[in-house]
Structure 1
């Protein structure tokens, strides 16, 4: 019945499929006239694109329990899992557990061959010479064996791809369907800070995964029962990523002693802000350990920048668009430094367009010389709107941090500040770069583990 159906379809299509079955799968050659009845002058479809396979040319995997008589045997065939369309530059791969099929260009497939010749399994580096690859390349043979797509190229090279690899790495697959797990919060909806003790966090297991889950969902995580000293603080933070060295050093100790040209080294209140707006890449994670709490005041303020972005986009779209399209300068001058960066306030993912980073610091603004006269007027109007959302009384959460509790803050999302205080107050901390944070996140959470 299967062969009869194929022959019936082939009869009305420009290319006639001859009966040629290779068990346990059906595979079809795109270059051999044994499979397609093409003009005898054509030695291959790679050389001449005038003869195409049928518009819906399907490949079946896992053909089970075949007897010698295909015509009379009732067989269990898995649903259509792959197909080729007649435009000749890509294939369509379909799996029954996918929400959609994948349209994958031949050039992508050749470049992403993961055999040892094309891709070094030890260094995870590409060896294939993509610069000289024929741009009109197409496989001469396609087959699906269980959950693997097998391709043979015109030069005889063979490539194999698991369906999982294709789903995770090609356009339209996993990335397109990845769910945003971030949860915006306000003062009323701020989640309880799940306290994770050091014994949990010092192992690469559930405790550490919980820290990353909280950072990804809420932008904050708290680890308790840490000895109130710098070495213990760094030992804990190293599980998230190595410390980022800046002109502050690898780590910092903040007291109200005026040691740095920064308001943080005073006793005054600090409004909600993100750090490093004078860096081209602001630190991703900021680590706070209050080893000596002030006797009066000094509470820590947290504001969710994701919620700020959502409110701005919904209620003040003009202001949101302005800060998403106009770069605003930031600076740090002092201690022998002249740091300067020019970036947008709201930064979005380059592919999905989703909110990715909020750069907001009213203290470290540089002279506004980068905007036109008209844009300057818009800037101050929109800045006051943005500031009102950040300082809204429902936005901020106040915490009284105590020695032994290490707070991790996603500096690309969550703003921090503090109340004015009197008396001694000391906290230790460090930064973790975005690159190192993402690397550890992917390793611990086993994200995209296929190299």
Structure 2
């Protein structure tokens, strides 16, 4: 609810029931008007362009009506109502000076003491509440497990079906993770793998990865996940200059493991949005190409920061370890959570299948479920 509103031709000032105040520009309000001539009432898409709004747009009148804001715009003589709850959710008149590497409010970082979130295969597929909770865990923590699933090849595709679509790559709709002779990728050997994000040589990178266990009787081969956002923040806290170097200059990544494929990308190891939000990690020693975009006089400092980030990631206290059993799987946000594998012996068998998907589908499904069941999302 709003208490009152004042205005001049360029700005409306409001006071909410809790005493907080906010200002909104005339052009912003007109561009975001909620009337059916401005936005389609069915899908919410805007029906006008910025050029359709008069350059001389101004506030002709503004008042509180029934607790909401009612604005009349000149020269259109158009009156639009803005619900107080909508205005409160879209306030931009606030201190927006945040530290470099700040995180979205919906993200919680973790280290090795964290208990891996998990959902039950049957419940997640049959119960909307269980599915929503599992998707929410992936969104908040960057990974989650699924247990007690089938062991039929291709079952991982049913995991992707929970929220979206498989992103097919040169590896196909999905790929096999087991020992091969003359492998095209070190993932297909029994060697241990340092914690890494997958496919940093793609642009855009696949934003989700699913790994599904079909057989696992080999000694070793435990999976480890590391929160790359926690690692990056640790680096920032102890070496702000090094953090800025890894965020400020692009690294290079390349993959040429099979005939007809030469993938290259030029992106920073630590990716920030223009306002400093931490939005991505690309870290993969196997796929790093020579760094040639860092100035000569900063290269040694860049490598010092790179080494330290690797040390933080490799710290056992950072990783959550688990051994997948047949029918178990886990999903990681490939822009945030690194995954590793301990080496395993030739005795027994270890067969996983993996695929990629995209986070926008998962976040869309989760948001739609929360809208449909708002009481359950609280």
TM-score by length of 1: 0.75
Query: 1: distance between equivalents of 2:126 and 2:274?
Result: 34
Confirm or deny that 1:433 pairs with 2:354.
no
Post-superposition offset of 1:415: 0.8
Unaligned ranges ≥5, structure 2? none
Alpha carbons 2:5, 2:62 under 8 Å: kept: no
Alpha carbons 1:284, 1:437 under 8 Å: kept: no
Residue 426 and residue 318 in structure 1: after superposition, are their counterparts in 2 closer, same or farther (change >3 A)? same
SS in 2 for 1:221: strand
Query: 1: distance between equivalents of 2:159 and 2:257?
Result: 31
Aligned length: 364
- Which residue in 1 is equivalent to 2:71? 151
Deviations 1:328-362, CA, capped at 9 Å, x for gaps: 011111321111111111112334x2322111111
Residue 179 and residue 172 in structure 1: after superposition, are their counterparts in 2 closer, same or farther (change >3 A)? farther
Alpha carbons 1:267, 1:422 under 8 Å: kept: yes
Deviations 1:373-428, CA, capped at 9 Å, x for gaps: 22322222222111111111212222111111121112122111111112331111
Post-superposition offset of 1:364: 0.4
Confirm or deny that 1:169 pairs with 2:169.
no
Q: Residue 108 of structure 1 is aligned with which of 11, 24, 28?
A: 28
Unaligned ranges ≥5, structure 1? 1-60, 62-78
- Which residue in 2 is equivalent to 1:160? 81
Query: 1: distance between equivalents of 2:97 and 2:87?
Result: 13
Q: Residue 317 of structure 1 is aligned with which of 240, 244, 267?
A: 240
SS in 2 for 1:126: coil
Deviations 1:188-216, CA, capped at 9 Å, x for gaps: x222x343212321146221121123223
- Which residue in 2 is equivalent to 1:40? none
- Which residue in 1 is equivalent to 2:155? 232
Indicate the RMSD between aligned Cα atoms, in angstroms: 2.5
Alpha carbons 2:226, 2:338 under 8 Å: kept: yes
Post-superposition offset of 1:89: 1.0
Alpha carbons 2:3, 2:67 under 8 Å: kept: no
Alpha carbons 1:83, 1:94 under 8 Å: kept: no
Query: 1: distance between equivalents of 2:26 and 2:324?
Result: 56
- Which residue in 1 is equivalent to 2:268? 344
- Which residue in 1 is equivalent to 2:58? 138
SS in 2 for 1:296: coil
- Which residue in 2 is equivalent to 1:329? 252
Alpha carbons 1:308, 1:390 under 8 Å: kept: yes
Query: 1: distance between equivalents of 2:72 and 2:111?
Result: 56
Alpha carbons 2:26, 2:59 under 8 Å: kept: yes
Query: 2: distance between equivalents of 1:374 and 1:446?
Result: 52
Confirm or deny that 1:95 pairs with 2:8.
no
The structure with more helix, counted as a fraction of residues: 2
Post-superposition offset of 1:260: 5.5
Post-superposition offset of 1:182: 3.0
Query: 2: distance between equivalents of 1:183 and 1:289?
Result: 25
Alpha carbons 1:286, 1:429 under 8 Å: kept: yes
Residue 367 and residue 183 in structure 1: after superposition, are their counterparts in 2 closer, same or farther (change >3 A)? same
Q: How does 1:29-428 map to 2 (within 5 A)?
A: 80-84=3-7, 86=8, 88-97=9-18, 100-154=20-74, 155-172=76-93, 180-187=105-112, 189-191=113-115, 193-203=116-126, 205-258=128-181, 261-335=184-258, 336-351=260-275, 353-423=276-346, 424-428=349-353
SS in 2 for 1:140: strand
